[in-house]
Structure 1
Amino acid sequence: MKIEIKLRIAAGDGAICEEEVLSFSKPHDQLEAIGLSLHEAKDLLGRLQEHIVAAQAARFAAERRRCAQCGRSLPSKGSTVIRFRTPFGDVPVSSPRLHRCACDAGKGKTFSPLTELFSEHVAPELLYLETKWASLVSFGVTVDLLKDVLPVGSTLNAETVRNHLHRTAARAEAELGEERASFIEGFPPTWAKLPIPEGPIVVGIDGGYVRARDGTQSHFEVLVGKSIPEDRENRYFGLVQSHDDKPRRRLHEVLREQGFQMNQDITFLTDGGDSVRNMAVAMSPCAEHLLDWFHITMRLTVLGQYAKGLAHHNPREADDAARELKRIKGYLWNGNHRRALPCIEWLIDDLDAVETEYSGMKAFRKAVDEFHTYIANNAGMIPNYAERRRYGERVSTAFVESTVNVVVGKRFSKRQQMRWSKQGAHLLLQTRTRVLDGTLRGKFEQWYPGMVSSNSAPQRETEMAA
């Protein structure tokens, strides 16, 4: 069976061009030969792309061969070749160079009209695909994936993909406004006149660590968060705390895109660290800042393990310590830090008086002392967790722990044996968080409005990353 595929292009001026794109033979009696093979499909797409791009470029150039002021035909000075990179191959485009008209006072005697059309030499669709998949998997795997399913150019490599991802992230970064000490806008009388807000928003912020490429340190901290509105889609955000100079602006933009307004209730759940706590300061007059229960119980669990170790040497003292820890936990669960702090101090005194051969005793005492400092520093952020739980309100950033896993662990993990610069990790976090919450495509459609029609029903990237 012989198959011939022809392309018919009708230009706007009434001209019609019909060309044979591909001709090949296929058997009809073999299962594996039914339909187009992947190789044949890629070949077909590549050839179609060349013809279509060439026709579009020629039409664009033809419309600019006359002077826009006097209508005189512009003489040609020759042509060059522009290489346009697309998801269906690198397409060479003939770019004519024209002499300027005498009535045109523009700079230079000649110009290339196609430089106006090809302001970038990478198709937005390819840039989007590279950014999306490189945000989910390694740069090398992204190259292999794209080459397996698309007729992309043979020169595509991991370094190119990384550079394109950085360029995308840098463009989004450039759109951020200036950092401010406070994002509270207006005054109480104006807040009262605002429309009734949507449901409350819960924001969890936590930190993780990435292996550093710089030899001066082995790891550096990244901050990751998740914003969960009651009536809208969840959003992720992330940054390298020691690199980013606009952390509060970044958080504010995420909230703004979720429709946040000044009279809307918002709860920030953090681990009590200075970096994460300062990020959410002065964000809203209706903000509530809470120490999450997860980090309290995590520290109490560690102290309980030390008590179990002490039981092998001093059972009575270990039993007393375990009971005291249980009482402290009960006070904190009910938001009674005023009773919890004296109990922690008594525990410190009791442990100082214990004589034991337990090798972990020094670490036990140090951990209890650090726990006292932790609770004392964050006492004002300790609510009545029991009451919040009864009313179905969040008390823990356990959901952010999973966010750290998703955003940081699965892409920056040790198994990939990669070390990161602070800038590289920060830029990747910007695109990865947008891929995970499904907003990357929307950002590209904002930059390139023509992409909207080709993606009327986009699939949520989060599902593909799960």
Structure 2
Amino acid sequence: MHWRITLEAVDPIGDGYRKEFMIEKNLDGLADGKLGCSIEDGKAIMKEVQKIIVERQLDLWVRYCRVCPTCKGMLPIKDYNHRKILTVFGEIPVRFPRLMVCQKCNPACCFTFSPAADICKDRATPELLELSAKLGAKFSYREASDLLATFLPDQSARTFTTLRNRTLAIGKRIEEAERQQRWFENLNYPDRMQLELALAGDPASEFVFNVDTAHIPLIKRYGGRTFEAVVGHCGRGGRGDPPGHVFAFEGTHPKKLKVTAALALKGQGHADRGEITVISDGAECLKRLAGMLPQPVAHILDWFHISMKVQPLAQLAATVPKGIVRL
């Protein structure tokens, strides 16, 4: 039994568009309960429908972009590129042109551009990225990949690393978006006039910041430049707590330091209560961090840098002859 599926579209430009494809269903499996379309049939149908729709959408978009906005002429085509776009209903190979700028309106310009290059910059649709990140956050990456491969076409269960990379990339984008939002917010924390009562076993009793700066020198062999980086860790003060938030960024800008510290506190569950301790080497840029965080904040020097100050005295004392009277 052959089934002919026909797709008809009415384009905004008024052209009729019609595509047909065939699927085959036999009657051999009816006695075993194989009635209607199976999951594999549905995946094959949706992949073909997706391919037809994507190709037509790109064709209309290229037609629209070929019209010069000044003289209303048609932009010349230099060559064609090929790309594969990943969608929820399969991997769609597309062919799109590179256009040259209008030589009548811009005779001195000879550069080219691709009107379809800005569509799906990740080579995947946002819907597929969102679905991958949502499943990757709820299940293990391998289980989420198997689930996608079961119901969606061209989603191989063996490429669970791709789903992991998608999930991590979406997480970085969300974190960067929140960072940009907090960059322009006024992060003024209200001063608390009285301290909270210290309760035994309170999970929000203490937050600890370990912050240090590192000077990255210039390596002439590999190029680059000299710069300073801030590396830190924010966690709970109790023993046995899960590892905290690790952060690092270039430069020592106070605004960037404040925004990063605010995101680290939020990641640890800070809710405007609890005492904060900042442990650093005493650098001037890190001393200001104590005043940027919600109060009360205690700033102390770490033992490593204290020992670095004491170590030269210990070495000097070791070289003093035993016969010399010590005052």
TM-score, normalised to structure 1's length? 0.42
Matches for 1:112-191 after TM superposition, within 5 Å? 112-154=114-156, 157-175=159-177, 176=179, 177-178=182-183, 183-184=188-189
Whole-Å Cα distance in 1 between the matches of residues 173 and 109 of structure 2? 28
Deviation at 1:144, TM superposition (A): 1.6
Query: Identity percentage over the alignment?
Result: 22
> Secondary structure, in 3 states, of the residue corresponding to 2:117?
helix
Letter in 2 for 1:6: T
1:54 partner amino acid: E
Q: CA deviation at 1:104?
A: 3.8
SS at 2:118 equivalent: helix
Q: For the residues of structure 1 that align with 2:205 and 2:135, how far apart are their CA atoms?
A: 25
CA contact (8 A) 1:183 1:252 kept: no
What is the alpha-carbon distance in structure 2 between the residues aligned to residue 58 and residue 206 of structure 1? 60
Q: Given the superposition, is the C-alpha separation of residues 182 and 57 from structure 1 closer, same or farther in structure 2, using an over 3 Å criterion?
A: closer
Q: Which runs of 5+ in 2 are unaligned?
A: 192-201, 207-232, 237-241, 249-256, 279-288, 297-327
Rounded to whole Å, the distance in 2 between the matches of 1:145 and 1:223 is: 35
Q: 1:267 to 1:243 in 2, by over 3 A?
A: closer
Residue pair 2:68, 2:102 contacting (<8 A) in 1 also: yes
Asked if structure 2 preserves the Cα contact closer than 8 Å seen for 1:84 and 1:91, the reply is yes
Question: 1:251 Cα shift?
Answer: 5.5
Residue 248 (str. 1) matches residue 262 (str. 2): yes
1:24 is matched by which residue type in structure 2?
Answer: E
Q: Per the alignment, do residues 179 and 52 of structure 1 end up closer, same or farther by CA in structure 2, a change over 3 Å counting?
A: closer
- Tell me the distance in 2 between the aligned counterparts of 1:273 and 1:153: 47
Task: Return closer, same or farther for 1:185/1:252 CA change in 2, 3 Å cut-off.
Answer: farther
Distance 1:253 1:77 in 2: 50
**Counterpart in the other structure of 2:53:** 52
Distance (Å, rounded) in 1 between the aligned partners of 2:164 and 2:118: 26
- TM-score, normalised to structure 2, is 0.58
Q: CA deviation at 1:42?
A: 0.7
Where relative contact order (Cα < 8 A, 6+ residues apart) is larger, the structure is: 1
CA distance in 2, matches of 1:106, 1:91: 37
Partners of 1:88 and 1:178 lie apart in 2 by 38
The amino acid that maps onto 1:66 is V
Query: 2-side partners of 1:135 and 1:105: how far apart?
Result: 53
Give the C-alpha shift of residue 78 in structure 1. Answer: 2.4
1:250–1:36 distance in 2 versus 1, CA, 3 Å: farther
Residues 91-127 of structure 1: CA distance to partner in whole angstroms, max 9, x if unpaired? Answer: 1111111221122489752221111333331110110
Going from structure 1 to structure 2, the CA distance change for 1:252 and 1:30 (only over 3 Å counts) comes to same
The structure where strand makes up a greater share of residues is 2
For residue 25 of structure 1, what is the aligned residue in structure 2? Answer: 25
State which drifts further: 34-43 or 68-77: 68-77
Describe the shift of the 1:185–1:92 C-alpha distance in structure 2 as closer, same or farther (beyond 3 A): farther
Equivalent residue runs for 1:25-424 within 5 Å: 25-27=25-27, 29-30=30-31, 32-102=33-103, 103-104=105-106, 108-154=110-156, 157-175=159-177, 176=179, 177-178=182-183, 183-184=188-189, 205=204, 240-243=244-247, 246-249=260-263, 268=273, 283=294
- Structure 1 counterpart of 2:283: none
- SS of match in other structure, 1:117: coil
Distance 1:253 1:6 in 2: 52
**1:39 offset after TM fit, Å?**
0.6
Secondary structure of the 1:113 match is coil
More helix by share: 1
Q: Secondary structure at the match of 2:6?
A: strand
SS in structure 1 of the partner of residue 22 of structure 2: strand
May I ask how many residue pairs the two structures share in their alignment?
Answer: 230
